[in-house]
Amino acid sequence: MTLPGGLSRLATGLQPASSQRSRRGVSATIAIGGGIVAFIAIVGLLSLVWTPYDPGGIDPTSRLQLSSSAHWLGTDKFGRDVLSLLMAGSRTTLVVGIVAVGVAALIGVPLGIMSAMTTRWWGEAVMRANDLLLAFPALLLAIMLTAVHGQGVVTAMVAIGIASIPSFARVVRSGAIGVMKTEYVLAARAAGRRPLAIAFRHVLPNVTSLIIVQASVSFAIAVLAEAALSYLGLGAPPGTPSWGRMLQEGQELLFVAPRLEVFPGIAIALAVLGLNLLGDGLRDRFDPRLRDRR
Amino acid sequence: MSTPTTTPGYAGSPPPSPDRPAAPADVLRIDGLHVQVGDLELLTDVDLTVRRGERVGLIGESGSGKSLTALSIMGLLPESLEARGSIAVTGVGGRHTQVVGAAERELAAMRGRDVTMVFQEPMTALNPTMRVGDQVAEVMRIHHTVPDRRAAGARAVELLDKVGLPDPAEAARAYPHQLSGGQRQRVVVAIALANDPALLICDEPTTALDVTVQALVLDLIVRGVEARDAGMLFITHDLAVVASVCERVLVMYGGRVVEAGPVHDVFTTPRHRYTRGLIGASDLDLTRPDGRLYTIQGSVPSAGRFPAGCVFRNRCIHATVECESVPPWEGPGPEDGFACFHPVVVRS
């Protein structure tokens, strides 16, 4: 499996050249990353209305077939069409990613902004609690939640979301601290604006770029986490198409039919690559220090 | 509290008042303001009055406490700083606010309505993610000086027109980055004047602008203030600007007011040694016998490093043992006088 850290480093190495090349328009990094993400999203949407076969359709007569004109990517041990499973699995990946990132952003962003705007003790307390959560292994949190609430996609989404809160809170806080020091916030205070209005009208719009970048990075992490959870049998239950589940089900046949591992593996790697490229590209675009380097 | 009645001709010539009676025309009256952080005193015994229609300059080097004074008036001091003394603001319609110790709600009502500010840096004084017109309209909406959103938008365009932006309707839809520095500062001025404040505080409003634009923006500010018969506190280290804009001036150093008086008097016959040095250093025609410009020796110490007694004595060539105690204020009143044991002797 591909590590997001390694990928982002690889992508970072590509950036200076690409940001130099395209000064105004969309950088190559964003174009490639965005293209991959859009492709997966379209496939996911398409699978709602059409897949070559029913992704849940078990057919004992056509088990473990190789690629053919009927089954482009072959079939698994239950005779299900791998391509159809992959297409339907992208849906789970997308939904888990969106909800997890949504949960993380909805809680992490206000926490970050609030702790940046206050000088009182609880602003600091929030961030220390944040550090505590950051230090807690996400997978362990997910296993705990599963033990309490039972296996399921919802549990996985919430667990991944909670685990992603700290990174949002941190990034937003650091950005918001910078915004709070600007003269336009001072001007807003000098104009009689109350803190809540300053948070919504002045701070939040000016950290949006940070939130977008963090969302794409967290999304990539959520994709990996969902795959890991489903692989461990803690995510998508049997019957729910999921890339992680496909890896798990194909594991016992690793030496008989390695393609059952390769195809979902490629799908996961591609999704993470696309999201990381998109995140890095957006960060370059929004970061004035990198943007001005021409 | 009675509403101060002001006559149009009053603006240019405030009557000299040696004993500072609590005239109803005072829009700002600071008495014995001290600001400190922990045991460190940042402002010491600052007295300052601004009347309606009066333009008062506050000059001094960076770190002398000018901006801190401005923030104190707005009640925007960081929470770690503690203010003592009295800052009385008489705002629009005679509304009275005692800034020191006021509740946040009371301060919010005063800021942007009775007292407004023009900031130094037009590049950062506007929110980059909001349209310029919305930012002008916002300050009127906060204080309900316009009936509704539509009226605020129309009034914003009108204000942008008044501050001399070409095609104000188009400018109102622009984002700050689409405007030049001078245009942005005009927008900041429009925001500051939108609610017809009683007092306008300008913190180095032209320092960041091109010289060619400076005069235009200054003129704009002065005309705006005169039209509203508002008081103005003008903070700068540019003495030439003070000379052309203000009627009275206060010289600050080390968190104290070291000299005060009418602009003409202070600039032609300075009494405090620091004022003398400041004016000498500002005059680029004046050179020493060796052909170099006059400077004040040394540099402004950081807060808390000022010497006890006369705060200027470690940079003053005239300092004696006497200067180790705080020099008393000499002069007819807080608006005209100085605090120096060895003043520049005026030969008449």
CB-CB: which of A119, A183, A206 is closest to B121?
A183
Q: Is B247:B262 a contact under the CB 8 Å cutoff?
A: yes
- Nearest-by-CA chain B residue for A120: B79
Asked which of A27-41, A102-116, A225-239, B147-161 is least confident by mean pLDDT, the reply is: A225-239
Nearest to B98 by CA among B1, B203, B191: B1
What amino acid occupies position A252?
E
Q: What confidence score (pLDDT) does residue A260 get?
A: 87
pLDDT above 70 for A258: yes
Contact list in A for residue B113 (CB cut-off 8 A) is: 192
Q: Residues 6 or more apart from B154 whose CB is under 8 A from it?
A: none
- Nearest-by-CA chain B residue for A119: B79
pLDDT above 60 for B250: yes
CA A191 to chain centre: 40
List B259's β-bridge partners, or say none: B251, B338
Instruction: Report phi then psi at A275, rounded to 5.
Output: -65, -40
Contact A191 B142 (CB under 8 A): yes
pLDDT exceeding 90 applies to what percent of chain B? 58
Query: What are the tens digits of pLDDT across the range B153-171?
Result: 999 999 999 998 989 999 9
Q: What confidence score (pLDDT) does residue B172 get?
A: 94
The dihedral of CA B117, B118, B121, B122: what is its sign? positive
Q: How far is B24 from chain A (nearest CA, A)?
A: 25
For tokens 């952080």, the residue is B37
CB-CB: which of B79, B108, B109 is closest to A119?
B79
Q: What confidence score (pLDDT) does residue A59 get?
A: 78
Bigger pLDDT: A289 or A67? A67
Q: Residues 6 or more apart from B208 whose CB is under 8 A from it?
A: B120, B121, B122, B123, B181, B185
pLDDT above 60 for B21: no
Q: How far is A132 from chain B (nearest CA, A)?
A: 28
Contact B129 A192 (CB under 8 A): no
Contact list in B for residue A210 (CB cut-off 8 A) is: none
At A138, the pLDDT band (50, 70, 90 cuts) reads confident
**Pairing relation of β-strands B336-338 and B256-262?**
antiparallel
pLDDT above 70 for B236: yes
Q: Return the DSSP state at B255.
A: T
Interface test with B, best of A181, A183, A211 (most B CBs within 10 A): A183
Domains and CATH numbers, chain A: 29-64+72-291 (1.10.3720.10)
pLDDT above 80 for A16: no
Contact B110 A192 (CB under 8 A): yes
At A24, the pLDDT band (50, 70, 90 cuts) reads low
Within 10 A of A242 (CB to CB), how many other CB atoms are there? 30
Nearest to A277 by CA among A33, A10, A79: A33
Distance CA A170, CA A109 (A): 9
Contact A119 B78 (CB under 8 A): yes
Is the minimum CB–CB distance between A122 and chain B shorter than 8 Å? no
pLDDT exceeding 70 applies to what percent of chain B? 92
Q: How far is A154 from chain B (nearest CA, A)?
A: 36
Contact B119 A186 (CB under 8 A): yes
Instruction: Report the pLDDT averaged over residues A79-99.
Output: 91
Asked which of A68-72, A112-116, B270-274 is least confident by mean pLDDT, the reply is: A68-72
Q: Is B74:B115 a contact under the CB 8 Å cutoff?
A: yes
Q: Residues 6 or more apart from B6 whose CB is under 8 A from it?
A: B25, B52, B53, B229
Contact list in A for residue B74 (CB cut-off 8 A) is: 189-190
Q: How far is A119 from chain B (nearest CA, A)?
A: 8
CATH code of domain B25-246: 3.40.50.300
Contact list in B for residue A199 (CB cut-off 8 A) is: none
A134 CB-side CA count, 13 A:
13
Give me the sheet containing B231-236, strands edge to edge.
B115-118, B199-203, B231-236, B55-59, B248-253, B256-262, B336-338, B330-333
Q: Is B249:B278 a contact under the CB 8 Å cutoff?
A: no
Contact list in A for residue B191 (CB cut-off 8 A) is: 187, 191
- Nearest-by-CA chain B residue for A190: B111
Q: Which two tokens stand for residue B155?
A: 């009034």
Instruction: Report the pLDDT averaged over residues A204-214.
Output: 92
Distance CA B63, CA B235 (A): 12
pLDDT above 80 for A184: yes
Bigger pLDDT: A39 or A257? A39
Bigger pLDDT: A262 or A56? A262
Q: What confidence score (pLDDT) does residue B346 get?
A: 64
Q: What confidence score (pLDDT) does residue B184 get?
A: 92
Give the ipTM.
0.76
Q: What confidence score (pLDDT) does residue B328 get?
A: 93
Q: Is B197:B148 a contact under the CB 8 Å cutoff?
A: no
Q: Is A172:A108 a contact under the CB 8 Å cutoff?
A: yes
At A289, the pLDDT band (50, 70, 90 cuts) reads low
pLDDT above 60 for A189: yes
Domain locations in chain B as residue ranges: 25-246, 256-338
Q: What confidence score (pLDDT) does residue A288 get?
A: 56
Q: Show which of residues 164-223 on chain A sit within 8 Å of chain B, judged by CB atoms.
A: 182-184, 186-194, 197, 201-202, 205-206, 208
User: Strand, helix or coil at B256?
Assistant: strand
pLDDT above 50 for B338: yes
Q: How far is A190 from chain B (nearest CA, A)?
A: 5
Residues in chain B: 348
Contact B142 A186 (CB under 8 A): no
Distance CA B319, CA A68 (A): 99
Bigger pLDDT: B25 or A115? A115
- Nearest-by-CA chain B residue for A118: B79
Within 10 A of B71 (CB to CB), how many other CB atoms are there? 20
Instruction: Report the pLDDT averaged over residues B226-247.
Output: 92
- Nearest-by-CA chain B residue for A191: B112
Query: What are the tens digits of pLDDT across the range A38-69?
Result: 999 999 999 988 888 888 777 777 777 777 87
pTM of whole model > 0.80?
no
Burial class (CB in 10 A: 0-12, 13-18, 19+), B20: middle
Q: What confidence score (pLDDT) does residue A278 get?
A: 93
In angstroms, the Cα distances linking A103 to A123, A125, B193, B254 are 21, 21, 43, 52
Bigger pLDDT: B5 or A82? A82
Query: Average per-residue pLDDT in chain B?
Result: 87
At A168, the pLDDT band (50, 70, 90 cuts) reads very high
Contact B138 A191 (CB under 8 A): yes
For tokens 């104190």, the residue is B72
Residues in chain A: 294
Contact A119 B80 (CB under 8 A): yes
Distance CA A206, CA B152 (A): 24
Instruction: Report the pLDDT averaged over residues B241-255.
Output: 93
Instruction: Report the pLDDT averaged over residues A235-252.
Output: 86
Q: How far is B143 from chain A (nearest CA, A)?
A: 8
Q: Is A74:A64 a contact under the CB 8 Å cutoff?
A: yes
Q: Which two tokens stand for residue A31?
A: 């174009």
pLDDT above 60 for B53: yes
Q: How far is A138 from chain B (nearest CA, A)?
A: 35
The string of DSSP codes covering A119-157 is -SHHHHHHHHHHHHHHHS-HHHHHHHHHHHH-SSHHHHH
Contact B126 A184 (CB under 8 A): yes
Bigger pLDDT: A23 or A287? A287
Q: What confidence score (pLDDT) does residue A134 get?
A: 87
Bigger pLDDT: B169 or A256? B169
Query: What are the tens digits of pLDDT across the range B54-112?
Result: 999 999 888 888 989 999 999 999 888 999 999 999 988 888 999 998 998 899 999 99
In angstroms, the Cα distances linking A130 to A112, A134, A162, A172 are 10, 6, 11, 13
Q: Is B92:B198 a contact under the CB 8 Å cutoff?
A: yes
At B25, the pLDDT band (50, 70, 90 cuts) reads confident
Query: What are the tens digits of pLDDT across the range B300-335?
Result: 888 878 898 999 999 998 999 999 999 999 989 889
Instruction: Report phi then psi at B7, rounded to 5.
Output: -95, 150
